[in-house]
Amino acid sequence: MSRVKRSVHARKKRRDTLERAKGYRGEKHSSYKRAKEQLLKSDSYAYRDRRNKKRDFRRLWITRINAAARREGMSYSQFMHGLRLAGVELDRKVLADIAVRDADTFRRFAQTAREASAA
């Protein structure tokens, strides 16, 4: 079997790892071993937080919709239930944007929700 000389690929792998670890604090940006360990942690945090970001934004949208709905004299759950009964199929992202940017339109949605839940 022929001999495999790894120096070029090993150096390339270490250089790529240290390149990815730029900006890390302490030895984590200069020592290959520490950089490799930190990149494993960083990748797991990135994977986890890509999922948590969706959760965080949903919480933010619900908070914004709730605040705007309470200005109209309704709770969040009453507002969403009324919209569901009225057949309005807007998601929370769009509703939160309307609540922040266009109070008149949100007031009309609140009125629609109130009428649908009363009927």
- Structural domains of the chain, with CATH: 8-118 (1.10.1900.20)
pTM greater than 0.85: no
One-letter-per-residue 3-state SS of the chain = CCCCCCHHHHHHHHHHHHHHCCCCCHHHHCCHHHHHHHHHHHHHHHHHHHHHHHHHHHHHHHHHHHHHHHHCCCCHHHHHHHHHHHCCCCCHHHHHHHHHHCHHHHHHHHHHHHHHHHC
Query: How does pLDDT run across 3-20, given as a tens digit for each residue?
Result: 988 999 999 999 999 999
Query: How does pLDDT run across 57-81, given as a tens digit for each residue?
Result: 999 999 999 999 999 999 999 999 9
